[in-house]
Amino acid sequence: MDVVIPSLGDIDEVEVIEICVSVDDEIEENEGIIVIESDKASMEVPCPAGGIVREICVSLGEMVGEGHLVAKVDAPQTTAVDEEHTEHIDSKNNQPTEVSLADPSPQKIDVLVPDLGDSVQAIVTNLVLSVGQSIAVNSAIVELETDDETFEVISECEGTIVELCIKKGETVSTGDLLAKMDLKSTESSPPKLPESQDDPTFVGIETSINTNQVALEGDSQSVYAGPAVRRLAREYGVLLADVVGSGSRGRITKADLKAFVKNKLSEQKVGSPGLGSAVQVERVDYGKFGETYSLELSRIQQIGAKNLYASWVNVPHVTQHDKANVTDLEDFRETLNMEAKEAGSKITPLAFIVRACCLVLDEYPIFHSSLEQNQQSILINRFCNIGFAVDTPEGLIVPVIKEADKKGVRQLSSEIMDLSKKGREKKLGMGDLQGGTFTISSLGSLGGTGFTPIVNAPQVAILGVARMQTEPVWDGEQFSPQKMLPLSLSYDHRVINGADGGRFMLFLTGLLGDIRRFTL
């Protein structure tokens, strides 16, 4: 059984940060084989069935995309499949193949990755042909991309593809097996085979440097760029939509990307203080004053720090504070929890807060918008996906409740529990962390009277929730004890002004103060 990288949502590639098993390990169904990590979170890739690990096909630090082969596992019910793969590996290692040149049946040949010159590796950007398709002389079989170029692997012979041995997005090196083909038998002109090859089944393959014809990964996205450029752009933190491509049909090349970054850096030098020229915090040698020790931040913390810093320096924040009188809500919640006790479930205030926020966002959609690149318009989402911060041992992650506005308090509560449990166990899929339109950060279970949450950019607003306290509240005639919930709304002041913030809070506290309003 082949274990592959599952759907990554809109993420192209993730890094392999941990390999949890070894060859010959016996593993159980759903046991994690590797841990992958994107800029949002890490997740385990589980084994769909129990069995023995036969091969691990990834290495630490490797970048992998959806469908990439992770491991081969002998599972009792998949013996037939495994046998097939054993054959494939043999042929890749140049063991005797099934058909020799003298064989009267259709002659089989292996299509190998051509000499990549200075490049150590190439990425398979497109599978032009599929199994069973006929191939003419001079037609492309696959498209590859190295750091410097994209090119097609062209067949010199006519035949039929009988096996594709690579997947789109996979990394290959010179001599790797790409495909197997049956040659079309033409008695008059037998296929020309290179003399220098030891392997009699090797076919002469040409490479054609032809960037014009390459339909690159990510066609669904509006930018036209190859995986190597996309990876580099991610490393630089550049939005490819901002870069003008000089390649054919506007394709963005590495040179375009580098020129863009260089240009931005020089702009910052001459312009007003920006990210690159901000005054640096002075370093202090604490060792001079006493004993110190160093503690490495987890990868999630490092990534979170980068994102938070980007938001802090790019988004002009305002935080508005208020309190909701949740005395009645808490009575109602207590009743619900008594009912739910038998089922072993509970509802925390957060589920009500999510529900209330959905209603407020429906009334004031500007709060789940994002500022467009030209900074002259905002993009308003017609859907309502609420992210909520979860504290995990690895750091902060933000799972997203999809279509939260279509869900009731009970369902929201169970999704909050499910997502936060999975998050702490590294079991979230990448899709669980994507697509949020508004975020809630609740520290209510821990305490505090209020805090300034940082906007989860490119979202424009985030709600912080602190600990509910029983306080004396004046009702016009007397003080009475009321349960007050502190709320802190931070927003991007370029999009939302103070009056909008005030209206949001008024509506929200009104809803939480009188849950009958949930039904209006």
DSSP assignments along 196-208, one per residue = T-SSTTB--EEEE
493 is known as an active-site residue: yes
Binder to ligand CAO among 116, 177, 389, 430 (CB under 6 A)?
389
- Are the C-beta atoms of 40 and 27 separated by less than 8 Å? no
Q: Does 420 bind ligand CAO (CB under 6 A)?
A: yes
* Window of 12-20, 154-162, 206-214, 343-351 that interacts with ligand CAO by CB under 6 A: 343-351
Q: How far apart are CA 456 and CA 464, in angstroms?
A: 12
Site residues for ligand CAO, 432-451, by CB under 6 A, read 441-445
* Under rule CB under 6 A, residue 221 binds ligand CAO: no
Q: Which of 166, 324, 396, 460 binds ligand CAO (CB under 6 A)?
A: 396
For position 416 contacting ligand CAO by CB under 6 A, the verdict is: yes
Considering beta carbons, is residue 128 or 462 the nearer one to ligand CAO?
462
Q: Cβ of 106: how many Cβ atoms within 10 Å?
A: 15
**Residues 465-484 interacting with ligand CAO (rule: CB under 6 A):** 465, 467-468
Tell whether residue 453 is a contact of ligand CAO (CB under 6 A): yes
* Distance (Å) of CA 432 to CA 208, 387, 411: 41, 9, 16
Given 388, 438, 491, 504, the residue binding ligand CAO (CB under 6 A): 388
- Rule CB under 6 A: say whether 462 interacts with ligand CAO: no
User: How do strand 69-74 and strand 390-392 relate by DSSP bridges?
Assistant: unpaired
135 burial level (CB within 10 Å; 0-12, 13-18, 19+): buried
Among 56, 64, 303, 390, binds ligand CAO (CB under 6 A): 390
Which of 221, 348, 370, 414 binds ligand CAO (CB under 6 A)? It is 348
Should residue 350 be labelled a site residue for ligand CAO when binding is judged by CB under 6 A? yes
Q: What angle do CA 465, 469, 471 make, to 5 degrees?
A: 130
Angle subtended at Cα 340 by Cα 334 and Cα 342, rounded to the nearest 5 degrees: 125
CB of 453 to ligand CAO, least distance (A): 6
Cβ 250 to ligand CAO, closest distance in Å?
A: 40
391 contributes a contact to ligand CAO by CB under 6 A: yes
Secondary structure of the chain: what % helix, strand, coil (to 5)? 30, 25, 45
317 touches ligand CAO (CB under 6 A): no
Q: Where are the beta strands (DSSP E) in 326-460?
A: 369-371, 378-380, 386-388, 390-392, 395-397, 400-401, 438-442
β partners of residue 143: 126, 152
User: What is the C-alpha end-to-end distance of the chain, expressed in Å?
Assistant: 53
> Catalytic one among 85, 88, 321, 493?
493
**Nearest to ligand CAO of 159, 399 (CB atom):** 399
Least distance in angstroms from the C-beta of 295 to ligand CAO: 18
Cα torsion angle, 223, 226, 231, 232, sign: negative
Residue 232 binds ligand CAO (CB under 6 A): no
Q: Judged by CB under 6 A, how many residues of this single chain contact ligand CAO?
A: 21
Cα separation, 114 vs 91, in Å, equals 17
User: Judged by CB under 6 A, does residue 397 bind ligand CAO?
Assistant: no
Q: Which residue is nearest to ligand CAO (CB)?
A: 444
410 DSSP 8-state letter: H
Question: Taking a C-beta distance cutoff of 8 angstroms, is the pair 370, 459 a contact?
Answer: yes
Q: Which residues bind ligand CAO (CB under 6 A)?
A: 346, 348-350, 388-391, 396, 416, 420, 441-445, 453, 465, 467-468, 485
Active centre residues (catalytic): 493
